[in-house]
Amino acid sequence: MVSYIKGPVLKALAHFGKVNPPLVRAYVPDLMIWGGSALAIVATFTEGWPLFQQTFYQKIPYFGQHWIHNPDPEEVPV
């Protein structure tokens, strides 16, 4: 024998406006790609700025030595 139900079983999702967890989970990979690309663009265009070199780039482990400038004392103009 078939058992019938009176109506559809509805479940409410937590939401903030029209944004809910499954929607956010669907957009996470795209947001990671765009965020990584934006970070690469900022790093490319600020690589030659001394303020960024001293504040960020010199503090990167292993690769920070690239931005530290130690000239020979003989080559420094007086």
User: Where exactly are the structural domains of the chain?
Assistant: 21-67
Average pLDDT of the segment spanning 14-32? 90
Helix (H) and strand (E) counts in the chain: 2, 0
Q: What is the pLDDT of residue 69?
A: 86
pLDDT digits (tens, 9 = 90+) for 2-20: 788 788 888 887 888 888 8
- Mean pLDDT for 50-68 is 91
Residue 65: what pLDDT?
Answer: 92
Question: Longest Cα pair distance anywhere in the chain, in angstroms?
Answer: 101
